[in-house]
Structure 1
Amino acid sequence: MDSDLDLLSAQARQRRLLLQAIGGAALAGGLGVSGRGMAQTGPASDASILDVVIMGAGLSGLTSARDLQAAGCESFVVLEARDRVGGRTCNHDLGNGIVSEAGGQWIGPGQTSIADLARQLDVATFPTFYKGKAVYLMGDEKVEEDVSDGPNSNTEIVSKLNKLAEGVPSKAPWKAKDAAALDKLSVGEWLAKQGINNADKIGFNMSVSLTFGTAPAGMGLLHYLSIINSSDCSLEKLEGVEGGAQESRLVGGSQVLSLKMAQALGNKVRLACPVRKIVGWDRDVVELHTDQGIIRTRQVIAALSPALCNQITFEPPLPTGRAELQRRWPAHAPMRKTVHVYERPFWRDKGLNGQIVQVDGPLIWAYDNSPPDGSLGVLSGFIRTGQLPHDPKAAQDTLSAIYAKAMGEQALHPIQFHDQDWGKVDSWSLSCISPMPPGFWTQWGEYLTPAAGRLIWSGTETADIWAGAMDGAIRAGHRAAMEALQALVQLGRNAR
């Protein structure tokens, strides 16, 4: 009953915001305004010109499309460069309806946008498996330890970070009171000033590398604090499993959300359709030059990483600030994720939770990614850049040997192996996450979200909270749809 009430309230909030965005038009059928009402409040009708084109069929772009349709707008299309939907979420098919996630996968407390969407799409969640001991490997040494409270056990340092995060708004970290001073430091420099020991260095190196795709020395302190701010100013919640951002997984894998949204949108989603050039973004009608022809539209939602915008030619050139933000956007954290599949999760019999941390090798972190019923044993691993062969058999054997050192000889005999290097799989990812360096936000942050002409910037990187996460992508999609609807209403008023 409570979940039903939560769903109704979430849908009601979404309808109310969308109705406000298009000028308070009358509710039709309890779902949104009618197409007739939208046409009356929008610009003059011309079937050859779409109201909105959305670039990117990941969580953000598909959320925007879903919101437009719920508001009664049918004059839109979603263009996706890849031959699939989902963006930086993607499932490996393990057979018999079982999948393992190749990209983003977890949701936790406070990530209400993705939880609402999952309920609306009838996608259930299940708890991440974490019971038992983790294994630390360094050279020939092996240590088993309970790390259920996260990798960083120095409560004094964590408390200092949490306190600092209270003053850094996740929506606009460059507006923090001490932004200039904080943005001069890397996380590594700040940690060095705290006099941490080697064990704490290992913990922070691992956690920052996993969350941001770079070592603490490459991560700006201001950005780090802004992400902690998203998580209720709690690093423990950001990095934890129970009660943390890794608490739950989605039945059917994270890509199932995009697959379900795209299925409902039908032929409004066009795959293998990259945008090569955008002409006239500063005029009322914009031309998008794609591999499938030229499309004309009144509004564009760019639901993609700022770094990917560099692959598009803009005529006229974008304003200097926005162009420089895109040019300088860090895109060096592609991430590589592997999957070993076993007949069963044998490590659980030994009191192990499947988590393996290798301090000095190709593996950053492995974890139990088995299905809810444990019918298969699945170990997923995050890999250090450039330290694992790309030949599939060599990569499988190298990791199998590491897993065997941690958990026994059964690990030498996987029945499947999958490897997703996001820097090599296609031209449309570049970087799974954005490790913002020191000095970036205070110089370029103000150009991140303001629209440029008819261009609305979206994608998880633009989210007010949980930027970089799946939840942030969905939040950005909602915002972009409202901005597009408001712009269409204004165009209609100007035309009258």
Structure 2
Amino acid sequence: MHGIPCRSGRTVSTEIPAASGVDRWDFGGQWVGSTQTHILELIKELGLETYPQFSIGKKVHHMGGVQAPKFAPSTSIPALSPLVLMDLTQLRWKIDRLLATVCVQEPSMTPGAVELDSMTLQSYIDKQVWTTELKEEMGLCSRSLFGMEPSQMSFLFFLMFAAAATGSAGEHSRLCTRANDKGRHPAAFSVSGRTRRVQERTTGLCCDGHMAGRVQ
């Protein structure tokens, strides 16, 4: 549940002062990508438009503490040593095999669901990854994508998320490093007029008057 005085769940748009007067900003969910076909179809059906998210600049890859070196990779491949890349490759193979068995619609029906849900992403990483650098890299990805440590996340949830979003660990891992790959990144586009317009137009089309009112 969302304890906010509005419909539409995570999308919240607010008008705030700007250089030319007042502008509308998203404070909740705000981005879409080309793989999110359902919401893109709805946006088009409602007569709304999207525009590319600004992503020009230098990507900085930094982990391992203040004294650790910083890298600015020019490709989607992280600045990792050949040994760590080998470790990453075998991890992706293992996760890909598991993703092929995941039931996205009903994760509890996934083979071995109880066991997968009883472990965390961190415990799986500790068991399958043998380089310290890759363990740190996976922690960085977890914090960037999910906003939590891998030790706080069910491994089954991680698999369900990856299977629903992309279908392969290879694609999923690239979400950590690509700012915008021809729109495939889930934050590749924003909605013109802000995302809240999707809910406002949907409500106006399909909801009765009592459903369109403000939540008290």
Same fold (TM over 0.5): yes
Is the contact between residue 134 and residue 146 of structure 1 (CA under 8 Å) also seen in structure 2?
yes
Report how far residue 213 of structure 1 moved.
Answer: 3.2
- 1:260 and 2:201 correspond: yes
Unaligned runs of 5+ in 2: none
Match of 1:248 in 2: 189
Match of 2:55 in 1: 130
CA distance in 2 between partners of 1:101 and 1:149 (Å): 28
CA distance in 2 between partners of 1:177 and 1:210 (Å): 28
CA distance in 1 between partners of 2:188 and 2:103 (Å): 24
CA distance in 1 between partners of 2:169 and 2:185 (Å): 9
Match of 2:135 in 1: 201
Amino acid paired to 1:191:
I
CA distance in 1 between partners of 2:24 and 2:160 (Å): 32
Q: How does 1:150-169 map to 2 (within 5 A)?
A: 154-169=88-103
Is the contact between residue 34 and residue 40 of structure 2 (CA under 8 Å) also seen in structure 1?
no
Q: How does 1:189-228 map to 2 (within 5 A)?
A: 189-228=123-162
Match of 2:215 in 1: 272
CA distance in 2 between partners of 1:101 and 1:129 (Å): 15
Report how far residue 119 of structure 1 moved.
Answer: 0.5
Amino acid paired to 2:209:
N
Amino acid paired to 1:270:
G
Which piece of structure 1 moves more, 201-210 or 152-161?
A: 152-161
Unaligned runs of 5+ in 1: 1-55, 59-80, 274-496
Is the contact between residue 12 and residue 26 of structure 2 (CA under 8 Å) also seen in structure 1?
yes
Which piece of structure 1 moves more, 258-267 or 191-200?
A: 258-267
Give 3-state SS (helix, strand or coil) of 2:60's partner. Answer: strand
TM-score w.r.t. the length of structure 2 is 0.74
Match of 2:73 in 1: 146
Give 3-state SS (helix, strand or coil) of 2:54's partner. Answer: coil
Match of 2:11 in 1: 89
Give 3-state SS (helix, strand or coil) of 1:182's partner. Answer: helix
C-alpha spacing 1:141/1:253, structure 2 compared with 1 (3 Å): farther
Is the contact between residue 162 and residue 228 of structure 1 (CA under 8 Å) also seen in structure 2?
no
CA distances 1:368-417 after superposition (whole Å, capped 9, x unpaired): xxxxxxxxxxxxxxxxxxxxxxxxxxxxxxxxxxxxxxxxxxxxxxxxxx
Is the contact between residue 149 and residue 236 of structure 1 (CA under 8 Å) also seen in structure 2?
no
CA distance in 2 between partners of 1:235 and 1:261 (Å): 34
CA distance in 1 between partners of 2:58 and 2:130 (Å): 24
Report how far residue 237 of structure 1 moved.
Answer: 3.6
- 1:179 and 2:113 correspond: yes
Say what the alpha-carbon RMSD is for the aligned residues.
3.0
Percent of aligned pairs with the same amino acid: 20
Q: How does 1:12-411 map to 2 (within 5 A)?
A: 82-94=4-16, 95=18, 96=20, 98-137=23-62, 138-139=65-66, 141=68, 143-146=70-73, 149=76, 154-238=88-172, 239=175, 240=178, 241-242=180-181, 243-264=184-205, 265=207, 267-268=209-210, 269-273=212-216
Report how far residue 180 of structure 1 moved.
Answer: 3.0
Higher strand share: 1
Report how far residue 209 of structure 1 moved.
Answer: 2.5
CA distance in 2 between partners of 1:93 and 1:117 (Å): 24
C-alpha spacing 1:125/1:107, structure 2 compared with 1 (3 Å): same
